[in-house]
Amino acid sequence: MKKKTLSLFLMSTMVFCLAFGFGKKENDKIGNPASEISAYADFLSDYMKHPVISAKIADEWDEDDKPENSQDVFFTLIYVDDDDIPELALSNGSCPWNPVHLFTYADGSVKEMGEYSMYGKMYYSPKKGYILPMYYFPPGNAEINIYGSEKTIYYDIDRIVNSFLPVADYNCSSLSSVRDITGELERMKKVAPTGITPLGAPIVDDSYLTEGEVLFKGKHADQIPGIWYLSTDDDYDITWIEFDNNGTFTAHGNVEGDVISGYISYEQESPLLEDGGIYYLFYPDGTRYDGFEIGPVEDYGYMMNFFGRVYYKHPFFDAK
């Protein structure tokens, strides 16, 4: 009888806890997306029924910002201001009368925060609240918009030329090509830049490149996956390089569209770097692209040396 009473007590206690949510972590339900991701996904899922259209540009161009179909709509997540909620950037096309619309998640809903630039392009400085409402870069004469206000500051091309990233050319997707909007938004949030190096490279959490087993071999191979940042100031160099666990690399220049991809192959131990190794990079067709030495460096972890061009896995200088 006592066992039966105890069993009934435990069962009723479990039902009570489940019913009232005891034991759950607030806003931490396993497998559920963050609130802003769900809200953005709902907003985008039926966006073609209620597209956000620029009245200002339509008046100037005598054209309509309304997208003709979902192929015209491009979106991404970016961190404009210094909080943990990414903004949704969206354009309805790539014509002069198509600005970039910015949205944020606040008070449980998606709110439009403004429209900027033309041709579905603009530039921004991650986490600083600076928006450069231009479709080309660098501009000769422009003003920087302060996100969330009507304030502007002068754009000094000599001082802050490497302080802005393009919205359209990094981590952007067409609404027509995305089947899982929630999944795509979660991916975008994970890789959205949270800063920018003095040489113009986006600072990104590189954990998406380093998860799992490293599938290529060589000296210090386990140290290679991730993002490596250029530390020497040369406008013609590749600014940052991504390596994944499969041995695929993507090299990015500081000019829009300057991207090279291929694969990595171990060559031999380095005769120059103590405890170092030499790797070669190849284009997908097998043509050699470049090579580097990698080895440990005191205080900075590991270093990649591309014949005088030095890269570190994490920027150790002030990125803000």
For 77-121, the pLDDT digits (tens) are 999 999 999 999 999 999 999 999 999 999 999 999 999 999 999
Helix (H) or strand (E) holding 112: strand 109-116
For 135-178, the pLDDT digits (tens) are 877 777 788 999 988 899 888 876 677 788 888 767 899 999 99
The verdict on 42 and 171 lying in the same domain is yes
Q: Single out the residue of 214, 212, 224, 210 nearest to residue 277, CA to CA.
A: 224
The verdict on 59 and 84 lying in the same domain is yes
19 lies in some domain? no
The CATH number assigned to the domain holding 263 equals: 2.40.128
17 lies in some domain? no
CB atoms within 10 A of CB 101: 22
For 217-239, the pLDDT digits (tens) are 999 999 999 999 998 766 567 88
pLDDT on residue 235: 56
The verdict on 147 and 275 lying in the same domain is no
The verdict on 217 and 154 lying in the same domain is no
pLDDT exceeds 90 at position 242: yes
The verdict on 156 and 209 lying in the same domain is no
187 lies in some domain? no
The verdict on 39 and 172 lying in the same domain is yes
CA distance 203 to 108: 29
CA distance 144 to 132: 5
Residue ending a domain, among 119, 149, 182, is 182
Report CA torsion sign: 55, 57, 61, 65. negative
Cβ atoms of 75 and 173 closer than 8 Å: yes
58 lies in some domain? yes
User: In the chain, how many domains are there?
Assistant: 2
Full domain range(s) for residue 81: 35-182
